[in-house]
Amino acid sequence: MNVWKVWIDKFRTRRLGFTFAILATLSTGILIGSVVAHGVDGKEAKVDSSDAQPLQIPSPVNLSTTFTQIVKQVGSAVVNINTVSYPKNSNGRSAQGNLQGPDENGPDSEGQGEQGQGQGQGDNGMQDFFNHFFGFGGPQGPQGESPDGGERLALGSGFIVDPRGYIITNNHVVEKADKIWVKLSTDSVGDQGHIATVVGTDKDTDIAVLKINADHPLPTVKLGNSDGTQIGDWVLAIGSPFGLNQTVTAGIISSENRSLIGDGGIGAGEFQHFIQTDAAINPGNSGGPLVNMDGQVIGMNTAIYTQSAGNEGIGFAMPANTIANVYNQLIGPGHKVVRGSIGITFQAVTSSAVAHVYGFKNGVIISSVQPGFPADKAGLKPGDIITSIDGRPIKGGDDLINDIAGRKPGSTATLGYIHDGKHLTVTVTIADRAAMMAALSRGGAPSGNSNGPQQSGTSKLGMSVSNVPPEMASKAGITGGVLIRNIRPGSFADGLQSLAPGEVILQLNRQPVANVQQFQELASKLKSGDDVVFLVVDPQHASLGNTYVGGTLP
């Protein structure tokens, strides 16, 4: 032990020297390793490669597929669209330049179709989503804006449908643009393209028609019938995502007749029912064609649903049949779309409980009737159920909208409907939806306070209600009813997503509700398994009509 003690003492007194000795030994090892490694460097090794055979480039092999043939057939008619918007003065005019069209947003087509309650008026309802996700101007791809709020740049796609230079694209691609350039597939890289003018736009379907001048006939696409598409069909999307011209992606049709309202939270107009595809669609693809395996355009790429600011395999294209109908009106003398209306609002979606309580399988319950318009003149009332048009059964709200909107103002239609359980028919004259929407907007939205009498709880339904304050009832033009004060989380009422505090219940299972006492009496008779349907009105927006909300009591 003494020997170890002596050695340790010497190490402590001479540890500095030991440290230097160890470092010196390591450094010497590193140097020797470097020299040895250098001596075997592959660069200095000599290898006899006289037996290596040179690579030969083979003759081209034609591996043409259906995809290849379609791209060659359609690609030349797909265009790139660039727009610029200048900063506006206080009077709303551009600081420089003029819109290439009738007015800044194109011909006014706002509000031209039978109105489904809960759906957008005016703008197509997607614009808020477009502005949120893509910024100014919609899903148009890369954009630039100067730090001081100067001119804004945007881009999109389109396709030529007439050799004289008529082009179809999305309205959101060119909306608010002061100058529009269309670049053909044959234009050189540095060429900005051809100045385009706006022939007409339709916000309800997000469709725009442009015109460019060319000194020779231009290649065109072949339009297909979108009614013939099926889920699972192969499709190609062609466009300019992120400004990358003539980009082609492939996928399938993953769904049809997709209404985005409620399906993805994006919001949509009542005339927007899309083909859904998993072909990669990105900002800049907007306005480009969706093509089937026969080389026919069966849709126009319009929107994507994403949570990552990129393609997630869910894209939406406006069907070709809708495009053709809108295009044919936009190139007409008025350069706008005229849609029919009978002057009603209705609830877009109703539950099976509502249909059961009101005694119908297919049809549309009228929420409100606009005074002075065809439905009012024909004697239709809120609560009536339209079941057929000209003898053809109505499947639902979309079916009603498409049929009535497609008819010319001044024409007539025979409606089958149910009134107080009786099946009746009546002939109505179709009116202009634009006039109906203008009248509806002039009607205003009543307002009122939420102060009222003592609340009363209804535990079975999961809500507390009170009598409607007189001032609120007067402003909303309603009689009786009970005001929903609170809804208990997890309750039956909470499960009815269309029901909310601040609304007024006018009926319970078709029975009028005059006050809280009467409401409680009706509710007390309900039992598990019963269908429960409320007739509800929003007193802040009473002009939009009533809503039918229902479900089955657990």
d(CA 553, CA 141): 48
**250 residue type, one letter:** A
3-class DSSP assignment, residue 43:
helix
User: What is the secondary structure of 212-257 as a DSSP string?
Assistant: ---SSPPP--EE--GGG--TT-EEEEEE-GGG-TTEEEEEEEEEEE
Q: Which residue in the block uniquely carries the two structure tokens 């359609």?
A: 74
Three-state secondary structure of 127-192: HHHHHHHHCCCCCCCCCEECCCCCCEEEEEEEEEEECCCEEEEEHHHHCCCCEEEEECCCCCCCCC
Amino acid at 414: T
DSSP state of 94: B
Other Cβ atoms within 10 Å of 326 Cβ, number: 24
Place of tokens 């606009």: 370
Is 286 assigned a catalytic role? yes
Q: Which of 172, 194, 273, 335 is catalytic?
A: 172
Clarify whether 524 is annotated catalytic: no
Q: From the candidates 202, 204, 206, 278, give the one annotated as an active-site residue.
A: 206
Separation CA 156–CA 193 (nearest Å): 13
Cα–Cα nearest to 180, from 140, 235, 232, 229: 140
Of the residues 286, 367, 464, 466, only one is catalytic, namely 286
Catalytic residues: 172, 206, 286
